[in-house]
Amino acid sequence: MNTEDYEIVLKARAADRLTAMDYIDGMISDFTELHGDRLYGDDRAVIGGIGFIMDIPVTVIGIEKGKNTKERIEHNFGSAAPEGYRKALRLMKQAEKFKRPVLCLVDTAGAYCGIEAEEHGQGRAIADNLYEMSTLRVPILSIVIGEGGSGGALALAHADRIWMVEDAYFSVVSPENCANILWKDTGKASDAANALSLTANKLFQAGLIDKVLKGNDMKGIKSQVYKEFLGLLQRNPEDLIEDRYRRFRKVGY
Amino acid sequence: MEFKKFFLKANNELEGVNLLPRARRVTCKKCQKQVPVSRIRKNFFVCPECGNYFGVRSRRRVLMLCDRRSFKELYGELQSRNILDFPEYDDKLSAAMEKSREKEGVICGEGTIGGIRTCIFAMDANFMMGSMGAVVGEKITRLFEYACDNSLPVIGVTVSGGARMQEGMISLMQMSKVSAAVKRHSDKGNLYVVLLTNPTTGGVDASFAMLGDITLAEPGARVGFAGPRVIEKTLNQSLPKGFQRAERVMECGFIDQVVPRDKQKEVLERILRIHCV
C-alpha cells in the first residue's frame, strides 16, 4: 500500500513547519501589516500587508497558523472567517489601485466552519474573492506553503500562477473527510489521499499548478517570485486577465 | 397530424422526462399522509396536506419556469469521465444516470419566461447530490459565455452538496472557472438571477450560487457553506433553530426574497421584464 501521499498531507500539517509569517520574514522587506476588512472586523487567521520584494512594492496576504499554542489560538489555527477573506479582497483592491502585484501564501485546513462564519456569509465571501480576483488588474501569484484545504484555500488562489512547495497538498476535501463520507472509515484516509491526487507533483503533472518549489530554500523561492513578478508586470492588464481566464477555463476540458 | 408531429418533436427535446409517474399516491415524508400524485403535481410538488417541499428534478424545474415548449437544451451531450480513476466512481456515475435519468447533474439551455428570452440552468439533486465536477462546471461556464455573447440573462436554479470529491482538484477549480465566467457576463451588463433550492452548500454555495445580481430562495431551503453536521462536530454544540435556512439567511442579508414555488415563475417574469426594457 502506497502511503507516500498521505505522509505528505501529514507533513504539510506538521507543527514545526514554516508558516506564512516565516515566508514574509524571509522574502519581504519593510513589511507593514494592515488590519481589518472595513466592514466588520479583523480576522487574525489572515495576515496582510505591504512591503518590498527586492525593489518591487508588493501586497502580501497569508493564512497564518501560528507557531505555538497561544499564537495558534490567536490565528484560529489558520481557519479564516469571512472577515479574513474580505480583508484579503480589500488589500487586493488596494494593490490594484497602486498597481502592486499580489503575493498570496496559502496554508489552511479549510475555511472556518462555525455559526458566526456561516451567518456572516462564508460562502459569499469566498465566492466574492474568486469573482473579483478573476478581473484584478495586477498580477497575482499564490503559493501553497502547507495545507491547501478546499474552498478556503482556493479563495486566495484564483491567481495567474499557482505554485506549491514540494511537500504541500491542495485538495477538494481532506482525505479524512473523504474516507469518512465515501467509506465511513477515517482509517482509509491514506487510500483517499492517493485517490484524490493532491500532492504538488501530481497536480503539476496534471497541469493544474504551475511550479513545484523546493521547501526550506527561502532565497531560491524569493528570487523565483521576484523574477515571476518582473515578467508578469510587463504584461498589460487586459492580457493578464485574459490569460488568467484561460488558465481556469481549460481545467477539466 | 401536424399537431401530433409537433407535439412529439417537442417531447423529444425533453427526452428522458417521465411526466406521468407510475405511482398514483406517494407518502409525504414530513406528514406521513398518502397524497395523490396528481394533486402534488398541480400543487407545484408541494405537499397539499402539510406544505412540505418535495425535490424537483432538473428537467421538471425548467418546465415549471419556462413558457410552454420554449426550452431548448444546450450541451446535453456532455458526460463525465473518471479522470482520476477514482475508486467506485464509474459505478456511481451509472447509478446517478439511472436515478436521475440525466447524463449529468445540471441541465442548461435557452427558453422564454413571460415571452422574454433567457438562458437557464437547473441542477439535479438525483445526480450525486448535485455535486459539481468538470462537466457541471463546463456546462454552466459555456452557458454564461453563450449568454454573454448574446446579451441574454441567466436564471440559475441551484441544488448541490458541493464540489465532487471524485474529481479532486479539477472539481474544486470549477468554482474558479464558473465564477470568472459569471464576472464576464456581469461586466457586460447582463442579468443573473439565482434561485437557491434545498440544499445549496459547499463549493457551489461558495461560488456561483452566491454571485447573482438577485438572489431568490425556496422556503426552508438549506443554504450554507459547511454542512450542519460538520459544524456541530467542530463546535460540539447543537445548532440554533432555523440555522442555514433560507429565511434566516435572508435575515443575515444574503438573500433578496424567499419565494414560494407557485409564485416563482411570476417573480422571475417580473424581474426579467424590469431588466429587459
The per-residue pLDDT for B21 is 46
Q: What is the Cα–Cα distance from A171 to A128, expressed in whole angstroms?
A: 20
Q: What is the Cα–Cα distance from B224 to B240, expressed in whole angstroms?
A: 14
Query: Which residue among A119, A135, A171 sits closest to B183, beta carbon to beta carbon?
Result: A135
* Residue B242 Cα distances to A116, A135, B219, B250, angstroms: 14, 36, 11, 11
Count of C-beta atoms within a 10 Å radius of residue A109: 20
The per-residue pLDDT for B4 is 41
* Percentage with pLDDT > 70 across chain B: 92
Residue B7 has pLDDT above 60, yes or no: no
Mutate to test the interface with A, among B84, B88, B169 (most CBs of A within 10 A): B169
Residue B204 in grid coordinates: 457551489
Round the CA-based radius of gyration of chain B to a whole number and report it: 19
CB contact under 8 A, A122 and B225: yes
Query: Which residue among B224, B230, B248 sits closest to A123, beta carbon to beta carbon?
Result: B224
Q: Touching check for B258 and chain A: CB below 8 Å?
A: no
Q: CB–CB of B160/B201 below 8 Å? A: yes
Q: Where are the alpha helices (DSSP H) in B150-256?
A: 168-172, 174-187, 202-205, 228-235, 246-251
pLDDT band at A1 (very low <50, low <70, confident <90, very high): low
Q: What is the Cα–Cα distance from B180 to A244, expressed in whole angstroms?
A: 9
Residue A40 has pLDDT above 50, yes or no: yes
Nearest-Cα distance to chain A for B21, in Å, is: 31
CB contact under 8 A, A131 and B170: no
pLDDT band at A216 (very low <50, low <70, confident <90, very high): confident
Average pLDDT for B145-154 = 98
Q: What is the 8-class DSSP label of residue B239? A: P
Q: Give the model confidence (pLDDT) of A169-210 as tens digits.
A: 999 999 999 999 999 998 999 999 999 999 999 999 999 999
Q: Touching check for B95 and chain A: CB below 8 Å?
A: no
Residue B20 has pLDDT above 90, yes or no: no
Q: Which of B22-36, B132-146, B153-167, B219-233 has the lowest mean pLDDT?
A: B22-36
What part of A 28-47 touches B (C-beta under 8 Å)? none
Average pLDDT for B118-132 = 97
Q: Touching check for B254 and chain A: CB below 8 Å?
A: yes
Nearest-Cα distance to chain B for A84, in Å, is: 15
**Which residue in B has a C-alpha nearest to residue A173's C-alpha?**
B165
CB contact under 8 A, A172 and B87: no
* Residue A215 Cα distances to A13, A77, A143, angstroms: 14, 21, 11
The per-residue pLDDT for B2 is 43
What part of B 195-214 touches A (C-beta under 8 Å)? 202-203, 205-211
Q: What is the Cα–Cα distance from A113 to B202, expressed in whole angstroms?
A: 11
The per-residue pLDDT for B179 is 98
Residue B250 in grid coordinates: 435572508
Q: Give the model confidence (pLDDT) of B175-229 as tens digits.
A: 999 999 999 999 999 999 999 999 999 999 999 999 999 999 999 999 999 988 8
Which fold does the domain A14-141+151-169+199-215+225-245 belong to in CATH? 2-enoyl-CoA Hydratase; Chain A, domain 1 (3.90.226)
Residue B117 in grid coordinates: 428570452
Average pLDDT for A90-116 = 97
Instruction: Report ipTM for this prediction.
Output: 0.96
Comparing C-alpha atoms, which of A65, A61, A107 is closest to residue A87?
Answer: A61
Q: What is the 8-class DSSP label of residue A166? A: T
Count of C-beta atoms within a 10 Å radius of residue A150: 27
Query: Which residue among A113, A128, A172 sits closest to B163, beta carbon to beta carbon?
Result: A172
Residue A197: strand, helix, or coil: coil
* Residue B260 Cα distances to B22, B154, B216, B217, B242, angstroms: 27, 20, 10, 8, 17
CB contact under 8 A, B172 and A171: yes
Q: What is the 8-class DSSP label of residue A246? A: H
Domains in chain A: boundaries:
14-141+151-169+199-215+225-245
Query: Which residue among B172, B211, B234 sits closest to A127, beta carbon to beta carbon?
Result: B211
Query: Which residue among B88, B176, B184 sits closest to A158, beta carbon to beta carbon?
Result: B176
Q: What is the Cα–Cα distance from B163 to B170, expressed in whole angstroms?
A: 9
Q: Touching check for A115 and chain B: CB below 8 Å?
A: yes
Q: What is the Cα–Cα distance from B16 to B23, expressed in whole angstroms?
A: 17
Which of the two residues, B233 and A247, has the higher pLDDT score?
A: A247
Q: Where are the alpha helices (DSSP H) in chain B?
A: 2-13, 37-42, 58-65, 89-100, 134-149, 168-172, 174-187, 202-205, 228-235, 246-251, 264-275
Q: Are strands A46-53 and A56-63 parallel, antiparallel or unpaired?
A: antiparallel
